[in-house]
Amino acid sequence: MKKLPWLVPLVLLILACLIGSLSIPSLAHNPEVYTDIGRGSSTRSIGDQLAAQGVIKFGWQISLARLLQPNRKLQAGEYHFVNPASPWQVFDRIARADVNYYELRIPEGYNLFDIAKAVGEQGIITEADFLKAARNPNLIKDLAPTAPSLEGFLFPSTYRTTRATSAEALCTLMVANFRREWKALQPKAPVLETVTLASLVEKETSIPSERPLVAGLYAKRLSIGMKLDADPSTAYASLLLGIWRGTIYRSDLDREHPYNTYKTIGLPPGPIANPGAAALKAALHPASTDALFFVARGDGSGGHRFSKDAAAHNRAVADYRRGQKKTAPPPVPLKPGPLSR
């Protein structure tokens, strides 16, 4: 057989060109590309998918990159490509699982309806799907067997989600965060009762120094069989019934409902919101206090005045109302016209 000495250099040249192409960004790259790589996708199908979307020029470039780095596996997930990238860079991102995340910020005191709205606004999980998952208490049956839902156990934090995140997976992640925080507090108190008290504290005040005082006040009321008269729990009762109107009316206060603490003695059946670590700590270590009443100061500070008896409380309420009148915006004057002459 006649030797072909030119063949080897030609093959090497072609191979060098192919490898060199892995460092050249695709000129056909769209301004912004989202691509979702499914679990179990083959290297070839991933390359074809990326080429079809213009992320790379040729599908075989991903196969070649994988051939040159056989120990690296391509990871499933959603990827977001904004700027043109070379096949090597694309391969590296997928091998590192540099997937596209969405940040979901859940502040302290959000209830499951607030969270559902925030989740729904992301456009990945619907409000209805999240509420359905959050109303199933199976994830915390070992901690709180009688909990009516996951309310109180969806720990406030900033979460990273993807388009593949389900409502159930998100709830699992949030409950796992609660478990870590709860364990770190080294609690020696019943879980459901403590979290329920913490949720009341979280909704009543955002002042750090007041949290133990509010917890102590409610603990004292509970110890003497006095109704909690907690506005946030009454509002939550209306939320559960789907009739919340944005403010508390007399009909809300008079309504017979397990969560209306103006009508029932003791804690509501479960939390009314999701407390943060500080509120949980306050519920576990309430301050010793003689106060049985508190009302907002009304000076814009967010603070409260605590009173030992009804008479002192009534004076504090009167001061609050006077302060509200002073800070209320002046009425808008009518323009001259037939009705204002």
**Vertex 55, ends 46 and 35: CA angle to 5°?**
55
Evaluated on CA atoms 325, 326, 328, 329, the torsion sign reads: positive
Q: What is the predicted pLDDT for the residue at 9? A: 67
Place of tokens 């009534």: 314
pLDDT tens string 99-124: 888 999 999 999 999 999 999 999 99
Whether the predicted pLDDT of 337 surpasses 50: no
DSSP string, 179-227: HHHHHHT---S-HHHHHHHHHHHHHH---GGGHHHHHHHHHHHHHTT--
DSSP string, 91-135: HHHHHTT----EEEE--TT--HHHHHHHHHHHTSS-HHHHHHHHT
Whether the predicted pLDDT of 338 surpasses 60: no
Q: What is the predicted pLDDT for the residue at 329? A: 57
* Comparison of pLDDT for 187 and 301, the residue scoring more: 187
Whether the predicted pLDDT of 336 surpasses 60: no
pLDDT tens string 149-158: 999 999 999 9
Q: What is the pTM of this model?
A: 0.81
**pLDDT tier at 293, thresholds 50, 70, 90:** very high
Q: Which burial class, exposed, middle or buried, applies to 102 when counting CB atoms under 10 A from its CB (0-12, 13-18, 19+)?
A: middle
Whether the predicted pLDDT of 264 surpasses 70: yes
Whether the predicted pLDDT of 221 surpasses 90: yes
Decide if 136 contacts 149 (C-beta within 8 A): yes
Q: What is the predicted pLDDT for the residue at 12? A: 65
User: How many CA atoms, within 13 angstroms, populate the side-chain half-sphere of residue 155?
Assistant: 19
- Cα dist. 307→180, 212, 220, 294, 296 in Å? 36, 15, 13, 6, 12
Buried b (16+ CB within 10 A) or exposed e, 32-55: eeebebeeeeebeebbbbbbebeb
Domains of the chain, each with CATH number or no CATH: 22-95 (3.30.1490.480), 105-184 (no CATH), 191-327 (no CATH)
**Vertex 33, ends 55 and 79: CA angle to 5°?**
90
Decide if 154 contacts 274 (C-beta within 8 A): yes
First to last CA, the chain: 116
Q: Which burial class, exposed, middle or buried, applies to 31 when counting CB atoms under 10 A from its CB (0-12, 13-18, 19+)?
A: exposed
Q: Could you give the CA distance from residue 253 to residue 240 in angstroms, rounded to a whole number?
A: 15
Q: What is the predicted pLDDT for the residue at 16? A: 66
Nearest in space to 140 (alpha carbons), one of 198, 197, 192: 192
* Comparison of pLDDT for 30 and 48, the residue scoring more: 48
Decide if 202 contacts 275 (C-beta within 8 A): yes
Q: What is the predicted pLDDT for the residue at 10? A: 63
Q: What is the predicted pLDDT for the residue at 300? A: 77
Whether the predicted pLDDT of 204 surpasses 70: yes
**pLDDT tier at 339, thresholds 50, 70, 90:** very low
pLDDT tens string 74-92: 999 889 998 888 889 999 9
pLDDT tens string 31-57: 788 898 988 899 999 999 999 998 988
β-pair type (77-81, 293-296): unpaired
Question: Which residues are CB-contacts of 257 (< 8 A; sequence separation ≥ 6)?
Answer: 237, 240, 241, 263, 264
Q: What is the predicted pLDDT for the residue at 259? A: 97
Q: Could you give the CA distance from residue 59 to residue 304 in angstroms, rounded to a whole number?
A: 65
Q: What is the predicted pLDDT for the residue at 143? A: 96
* Mean pLDDT across the chain: 89
Q: What is the predicted pLDDT for the residue at 23? A: 72
Q: Identify any residues that bridge with 35 across adjacent strands, giving them in sequence order.
A: 79
Indicate the SS3 state at residue 296. strand
Q: Could you give the CA distance from residue 31 to residue 234 in angstroms, rounded to a whole number?
A: 51
Q: Residues 218-231: what's their mean pLDDT? A: 96
Q: Could you give the CA distance from residue 60 to residue 170 in angstroms, rounded to a whole number?
A: 36
Q: Could you give the CA distance from residue 71 to residue 263 in angstroms, rounded to a whole number?
A: 66
Buried b (16+ CB within 10 A) or exposed e, 128-143: ebbbebbeebebbeeb
